[in-house]
Chains A and B, each alone.
Chain A
Amino acid sequence: MTLTARIRHRFPDFTLDVDLHLPGRGVSALFGQSGSGKTTCLRCLAGLEQAADAYIEVNGQVWQDSQRGLFLPPHQRPLGYVFQEASLFTHLSVRRNLEYGWRRIRPHQRKVQWEQACGLLGIRHLLERMPGHLSGGERQRVGIARALLTSPGLLLMDEPLAALDSQRKAEILPYLERLHDELEIPVVYVSHAQDEVARLADHLVLLDKGQVQASGPVSQTLARLDLPLALGDDAGVVIEGRVVGHDADYQLLSLGLPGSTLHLRVAHGPLAPGSALRAKVQARDVSLSLDGQGQSSILNRLPAVVTGWRAADNNAHVLVSLDVDGTALLARITRYSWDQLGLAVGSGVWGQIKAVAVLA
């Protein structure tokens, strides 16, 4: 399955003009500031907003083609939609909320089973409650399960965590990750939080003022120096590695870099070799040195080549992009160090990684 969406629509305050080609699997994040048009984009995909000029094709099925005057109303599109506020029907119990979409799907088209959805979102014990008696996190989990139970061919999520405090967010994120790992449903996920994108997204679309600024695999897009992402506090890269071994004595997991014999070591319990693991390396946790010698407490030192650099958001720092045997890394170092080490594009360096965060 693939998703193609060409959407052009003039709003009073901005014009949405995007041309999206998203992969048919995994999570694609629409990322941008508020007002960048990401939610509008999602609403157009769902048909909740009818763009004046649009061509939307999902899985070979045309949902909108304004040139032919074709517009499939939302209730005829095989999609699931999770709203920012869970928006449960207040007059129905949790069970009846879940049944609302479930019952409208023909039995032989139900791919997501009742037990599976309730188990995945951990809501079995909530079924008889009314929405008014749920916490914000519980409500959102029910909202997600309700959307899943329509066995959608595409799941659209509009900042499902934005209305929650950080504790509730942390409570839901693992459920979203399980969704990602256990269901084959492609997801388009709208967010303005870089940490959510780093944890969940496989593909990243950066939106700005209604236009697509960048679109590509998350590991490549986050590492690009020419995007504003590199300047943020959270700047860093996502590495999709595979477990190659575990040191039981020191409790260190070895994570092989994709397509490389190099690996990162990270404090983590044992995992089966070969299992996929996602890790984030923040730009500010990477320092550079010219030789790989010398005693240090830093665990991970990898040979790298400087592929680019740019001034940071302040005059004291620069951002350096590195290539580590095919894996992109970002380093945020002082401009002084850059000059002292005499670095330039093409320089061979050692990237010293102070911290690796395992995401999933």
Chain B
Amino acid sequence: MPLDASDLSAIWLTVKLASLTTLLLLVIGTPIAWWLARTRSRLRGPVGAVVALPLVLPPTVIGFYLLLAMGPNGFIGHATQALGLGTLTFSFAGLVIGSAIYSLPFVVQPLQNAFTAIGDRPLEVAATLRASPWDCFFTVVMPLARPGFVTASILGFAHTVGEFGVVLMIGGNIPDKTRVVSVQIYDHVEAMEYGQAHWLAGAMLVFSFLVLLALYGRGHAKARWS
């Protein structure tokens, strides 16, 4: 067996983290993307820029600030301690929050593009057919933006799987809690276990390729149909 128990545990943890993060991001990212796509507010630029920050910031910078914020003296740390939850640093919950921030633009931007592409007209039509704005969102916007939701989910999931820096900064390297695949590979290399590293790294490579193939192949199939 090329993968040992700790490898499998790292893979399972990674899948769990990426799934939860993606779900959380779809819930949080949808209203943000909708607002960014529809608003005429002056805050649109600044908010858009903040959402896009993780695209350019080194993960260590995000991890550093999160570490401070979630630590015993940070504002998130104060809140979680007041609620009796302790601190989120070096915990799975902390990783989910860190990953959500890290992958935020990968979910928000495809959604925002999909919402923008729908335009005003279908919303106006729905309104003249007696649909309230909420009704319209669920019956017109969501179905029309479905490709955007699929892209956002795939990118959010894949990008979280590929995360390393933020995890290391706020999660450390705790088996079954914060040791995800990328960290596990790092450990193998540190320990000169290149054989083990090869298997995991290869698996990541294949996974990433398949994800991107799904994404781009889908666009191709659609182009052929229209």
**Which of A's residues lie within 8 Å of B, judged by CB?**
46-48, 73-76, 79-81, 83, 85, 87, 89-91, 100-101, 104-105, 146-147, 150
**A147 and B131 in contact (CB under 8 A), knowing A83-B121, A89-B140, A100-B139?**
no
Can you name 27 A-B pairs with beta carbons within 8 Å?
A46-B128, A48-B127, A74-B124, A74-B127, A75-B128, A75-B129, A75-B135, A81-B124, A81-B128, A83-B121, A83-B124, A83-B125, A85-B121, A87-B121, A87-B124, A89-B122, A89-B125, A89-B140, A89-B144, A90-B144, A100-B126, A100-B129, A100-B139, A104-B130, A104-B135, A147-B128, A150-B128
Partner of A75, one of B121, B130, B140, B143: B130
| Min CB–CB distance A132 → chain B (angstroms) | 9
Which residues on the B side are within 8 Å of A146 (C-beta)?
129
Known: A74-B127, A87-B121, A89-B144. 7 other contacts (CB 8 A): A48-B124, A74-B124, A75-B126, A75-B130, A89-B125, A100-B126, A147-B128
Best-buried of A48, A73, A75, A76 by chain B (most CB within 10 Å): A75
Let me know if B132 is at the binding interface, CB within 8 A: yes
**A73 and B121 in contact (CB under 8 A), knowing A90-B144, A91-B144, A100-B139?**
no
Q: Who on chain A is nearest to B136 by CB?
A: A75
| Min CB–CB distance A44 → chain B (angstroms) | 13
CA of A147 to CA of B125, assembled, Å: 9
Q: Is the CB of B129 within 8 A of A104?
A: yes
Partner of A105, one of B126, B128, B130, B135: B130
Which residues on the A side are within 8 Å of B125 (C-beta)?
81, 83, 87, 89
Partner of B128, one of A74, A85, A90: A74
Q: Is the CB of B131 within 8 A of A80?
A: no
Q: Is the CB of B127 within 8 A of A150?
A: no
| Min CB–CB distance A91 → chain B (angstroms) | 5
CA of A46 to CA of B127, assembled, Å: 10
CA of A79 to CA of B143, assembled, Å: 25
Q: Is the CB of B122 within 8 A of A75?
A: no
**Which of B's residues lie within 8 Å of A, judged by CB?**
121-122, 124-133, 135-136, 139-140, 143-144
Which residues on the A side are within 8 Å of B129 (C-beta)?
75, 100-101, 104, 146-147, 150
Count of chain A to chain B residue pairs whose CB atoms are closer than 8 Å in the complex: 59
Q: Who on chain A is nearest to B127 by CB?
A: A74
Which residues on the B side are within 8 Å of A90 (C-beta)?
144
Q: Is the CB of B144 within 8 A of A75?
A: no
**A104 and B121 in contact (CB under 8 A), knowing A89-B140, A90-B144?**
no
| Min CB–CB distance A58 → chain B (angstroms) | 14
| Min CB–CB distance B122 → chain A (angstroms) | 6
Q: Is the CB of A80 within 8 A of B128?
A: yes
Which residues on the A side are within 8 Å of B124 (C-beta)?
48, 74, 81, 83, 87
| Min CB–CB distance B147 → chain A (angstroms) | 11
Which residues on the B side are within 8 Å of A75 (C-beta)?
126-133, 135-136
Best-buried of B127, B129, B130 by chain A (most CB within 10 Å): B129
| Min CB–CB distance A71 → chain B (angstroms) | 13
| Min CB–CB distance A99 → chain B (angstroms) | 10
CA of A111 to CA of B175, assembled, Å: 67
**A101 and B130 in contact (CB under 8 A), knowing A89-B140, A91-B143, A91-B144?**
yes
Q: Who on chain B is nearest to A98 by CB?
A: B129
Partner of B122, one of A74, A81, A87, A101: A87
CA of A78 to CA of B67, assembled, Å: 56
**A73 and B127 in contact (CB under 8 A), knowing A89-B122, A91-B143, A91-B144?**
yes
Which residues on the B side are within 8 Å of A150 (C-beta)?
128-130
CA of A101 to CA of B129, assembled, Å: 5
CA of A89 to CA of B144, assembled, Å: 9
Which residues on the A side are within 8 Å of B121 (C-beta)?
83, 85, 87
Which residues on the A side are within 8 Å of B143 (C-beta)?
91
CA of A129 to CA of B32, assembled, Å: 35
Which residues on the B side are within 8 Å of A73 (C-beta)?
127
CA of A80 to CA of B122, assembled, Å: 15
| Min CB–CB distance B146 → chain A (angstroms) | 8
Which residues on the A side are within 8 Å of B144 (C-beta)?
89-91
| Min CB–CB distance B133 → chain A (angstroms) | 8
Q: Who on chain A is nearest to B143 by CB?
A: A91
Which residues on the A side are within 8 Å of B139 (C-beta)?
100
Q: Is the CB of B128 within 8 A of A104?
A: no
Which residues on the B side are within 8 Å of A87 (C-beta)?
121-122, 124-125
Q: Is the CB of B131 within 8 A of A100?
A: yes
CA of A90 to CA of B146, assembled, Å: 13
Q: Which 3 A-B pairs have the closest CB atoms?
A: A101-B129, A81-B128, A104-B130
Which residues on the A side are within 8 Å of B128 (C-beta)?
46, 48, 74-75, 79-81, 101, 147, 150
Which residues on the B side are within 8 Å of A91 (C-beta)?
140, 143-144
CA of A152 to CA of B127, assembled, Å: 13
Which residues on the A side are within 8 Å of B127 (C-beta)?
47-48, 73-75
| Min CB–CB distance B18 → chain A (angstroms) | 29
Q: Who on chain A is nearest to B146 by CB?
A: A91
Q: Who on chain A is nearest to B132 by CB?
A: A75
Q: Who on chain A is nearest to B130 by CB?
A: A104
CA of A47 to CA of B144, assembled, Å: 24
CA of A163 to CA of B127, assembled, Å: 22
CA of A349 to CA of B125, assembled, Å: 54
| Min CB–CB distance B109 → chain A (angstroms) | 22
